Structure 1
Amino acid sequence: MRALLASPLGFLIGMALGAVGGGGSILAVPALVYVAGQNPHAATTTSLVVVGATALGGMLSHYRAGRVKLGPGLVFGLVGTGGSLVGAFISKQIPSNLLLFLFSFLILFAAYRMWPKKQKAVRDSEGGTGTGISADLPSDGDGSSVVVAQKTDSRTKMIVLVLVTGTVVGFLTGLFGVGGGFVIVPALVLALKYDMPEAVGTSLLVIAVNSAIALLGRVATSHVQWSIAIPFTIAGLLGSLVGRRVSDKVPTKTLAKAFVVLLLIVGAYVAIKSVMVL
C-alpha cells in the first residue's frame, strides 16, 4: 500500500529527469523513507534501481531526438566508477539518521545548483572573462604558439574538470543513491561545450551508468525491495516521458525554478526530521 502511495512521487521524479535532466532523483530517497517506509540504507539502494531505470528510459527519447552523445556519456560515467564504489562502501558505515542529515544538505545544494543562472555567467565560463586566460597577448613574436598554448591549456582544464566531476558524481551516487544531474549538466556545458538539450540528454546516460555501477557495489550486502522498487520505477518511467514532452512546451527556467522551490521544502523537512532523532 505504501508503495502505491509513493508512486506519484516516482512520477514526479521521472518528470523532473525528463524535463531538466537532473535534480528529480534527489527526491527518491526522501520519498522512499518518509512515504514508502524504508530505512535510509535500503532507500538509497532502491533509489539506484529507480533512478537508473528512469534515467535510461528518459535517455531513450532524447537519443531518438539526437540529443545524446553516447561515447562521451559512457566515458563520463565510467570515470566515476571508483568514486561510486567508494561512496557505496562508506554509505554502509554511516548511521541512518546521520546519512539523512547529510542528505538534506545535498538536497539544498542541488536547489542552489539548479536555480537558473544569468546567461552572462555561462558565457564567461565558456571562454570569456571567466576562463582565466590573459587578454594581454604579446604584440610581437609567433602568435600561433600562443594559440596552441591556449588550446592546450583549455584541453587540460577540460580533462581535469571531467575527471573531477565524474568522480564526485560517482561518489554521490554511491553514497546517497542520487543521479547527480545537477552537477553533470553544468559540467557538460562548460567542459564539453554542449548546448543545453545535448547536456540534458547525455546526463541521463551518465546517471544510468553511475547508478548501475553503484548498484553492483551494493548487490552483495544490500537488498532491493522489489515490491516498492517496481511500481516506483514504472511511475518514474511514465513521468520521464511526460517530462520530455513538457520540456518542449514550457521554458526550462520556469521548470527549474518551480522544482527548486520543491527541493527547498523537502530539504528543510529532511533536515528537521533527521536532527530530531540524532
Structure 2
Amino acid sequence: MITTVLALVAGAVVGLALGGLGGGGSVLAVPALIYLLGFSPSAATTASLLIVTATTATALYGHAREGAVAWRTGALFALAGIAPAFAAGTLADHLPQPALTCAFSAIAALAAVRMLRPAPGTPGRTRTHPGAAAGAGAGLGAVTGLLGVGGGFLAVPALTGVLRLPMRRAIGTSLLVITVNSLTALAARTGTADALDWAVVAPFTGAAILGARDGKRLAARLSGPLLRRIFAYVLLAVAAFMLVDAVALRA
C-alpha cells in the first residue's frame, strides 16, 4: 500500500512538470523509481521510458488540439533522434550501474542550470533551420535512449532560442519529439519491460497522465519563472544526492 501511494505521488509530480514546463519531469522519474520504489538503474530507465511515452503522448494530444505544435520543426527533431535513441537504448543495459547513475546526475544538474537561466527574448518570425534542428534532435535522442529521460529541458531551450518558436509552441513541439524518441528507445529495449513491477509502473503512469493535465492549468495560473526556479532547485538536490550515491557504489 505504501509503495502504491509513493508511486502515485511521484507520478503526479512528474506529470505536473511535464504538463507545466514541457520537460524536466522525466528527470525526476528515474531517481524516484530507484530511491523511493526500489528499481535498479537499468529497470528504472526502462520504466521511465514507458511512463514518459504514455504521459507525453497524452499531453501532446491536448496541445495539438489547440494548434500549439510546430509539426515540421518537431518532425526534423524527431527524425534526427531516432537512430541515436535506438543505439543508446541498446548500449544502456551494458553500462555499469555507477556509471549510469553518474551520467544521470550530470543530466539532472544540466536540466537545473537550463531552468535557472533567463528565458530567451521574444521570438521573432519562426524559421526552421534544418542543420540546427537535426543536431539538437540527434543529441536529444541519445540522451533519451541512454538515460530514459524525455529531454524536454534540452528541447524547449533549443526550440525557443535557436529556432525562435514562441514558448507555448515550443512546449507542445517538445512533447512530439519526446514521444517519438521515447518510443524508439523502448523499441531498443524489447523484452526488458517484462521484468518490471507493473503494480508500481501502472499507478505511476496513471498519476503522471493526470498530473500533466493539472500541470498545464497550473502553469497558466502561476508565474512561469517561479515554477522553473523551484523545480530547478529540486533537480540540483537530486543530482547531488545521486552523485554521492554513485561515488559510494564505486568505493
Q: TM-score, normalised by structure 2?
A: 0.92
Write the letter of the residue equivalent to 1:242. D
Would you say the 8 A contact 2:76–2:137 is kept in 1? no
Would you say the 8 A contact 1:185–1:199 is kept in 2? yes
Match of 1:164 in 2: 135
**CA offsets per residue over residues 5-38 of structure 1, 9 Å max, x none?**
1221111111001001011110110000011111
Match of 1:65 in 2: 66
Tell me which moved more, 190-199 or 7-16: 190-199
**CA offsets per residue over residues 183-240 of structure 1, 9 Å max, x none?**
1111112343210000001101111111011001101345343222111000101110
C-alpha RMSD over aligned residues: 1.9
> Paired residue for 1:231, among 203, 206, 213?
203
**Structure 2 gap ranges (5+):** none
**CA offsets per residue over residues 245-267 of structure 1, 9 Å max, x none?**
01111121111111001101111
Q: Sequence identity of aligned pairs in percent?
A: 38
**CA offsets per residue over residues 157-180 of structure 1, 9 Å max, x none?**
x22211111111100110000000
Match of 1:215 in 2: 186
Match of 2:106 in 1: 105
Query: Distance in 1 between the 2:159 and 2:237 partners?
Result: 28
Match of 1:248 in 2: 220
Match of 2:52 in 1: 51
Q: TM-score, normalised by structure 1?
A: 0.83
Shift in CA distance, 74/4, structure 1 to aligned 2, threshold 3 Å: farther
Would you say the 8 A contact 2:73–2:133 is kept in 1? no
Match of 2:157 in 1: 186
**CA offsets per residue over residues 51-105 of structure 1, 9 Å max, x none?**
1111111222222222112343233212201110111122111111221122111
Tell me which moved more, 59-68 or 222-231: 222-231
Q: Does 1:272 align with 2:244?
A: yes
Match of 2:17 in 1: 16
> Paired residue for 1:175, among 125, 146, 159?
146
Write the letter of the residue equivalent to 2:163. L
Query: Distance in 2 between the 1:118 and 1:249 partners?
Result: 18
Would you say the 8 A contact 2:120–2:161 is kept in 1? no
Would you say the 8 A contact 2:108–2:239 is kept in 1? yes
